[in-house]
Amino acid sequence: MSTSDIERKSVLKTAFAYVIWTAVCALLGAVYEKFSHEVYSYYMIYAFAFPLGLGALPLFALGLFSKKMPSRFSLKMWNSGVAALTVGSFFKGVLDIFGTTNRLIIVYPVGAGIFMLIGLAAFFAGRSDNSSE
């Protein structure tokens, strides 16, 4: 099995993990909304969209259609950004439902953006698949 096949398998495995995390986030959001006494937050309801839209879908597309696979570092940086957005969305949802605010909530999208930009830069600066074998 070539290095490219191993990397592709790793990317698809990560994409599948994102599908599971998407389902877990949707379930957590639904349970929290159920017991929120008719107080809702779109941040809580749609927190599942980050692992789905920024994790599962792009990684499935990359694993199935791209010749160039991300490095382990690039993938970890991207995953950290998606995790920061998801956790930040849940936290903002909890604050909304509780009826309060926190000025430090900006840390989540800013940190996520930094992680994701580093991940993208590492992906585009990395080697192409043609250099293996």
Residues 6+ apart with CB under 8 A from 81: 54, 111, 112, 113, 114, 115, 116, 119
> Which tokens in the block code for residue 11?
């990317």
| pLDDT over 70 at 74, yes or no | yes
The pLDDT confidence band at residue 37, using thresholds 50, 70 and 90, is confident
| pLDDT over 50 at 127, yes or no | yes
Name which of 82, 69, 84, 67 is nearest 11 in CA terms.
69
With residues binned 3-state (H G I as helix, E B as strand, rest as coil), the percentages for the chain, rounded to 5, are: 80, 0, 20
Distance CA 93, CA 112 (A): 17
Give this prediction's pTM.
Answer: 0.90
Average pLDDT over residues 14-41: 91
The pLDDT confidence band at residue 131, using thresholds 50, 70 and 90, is very low
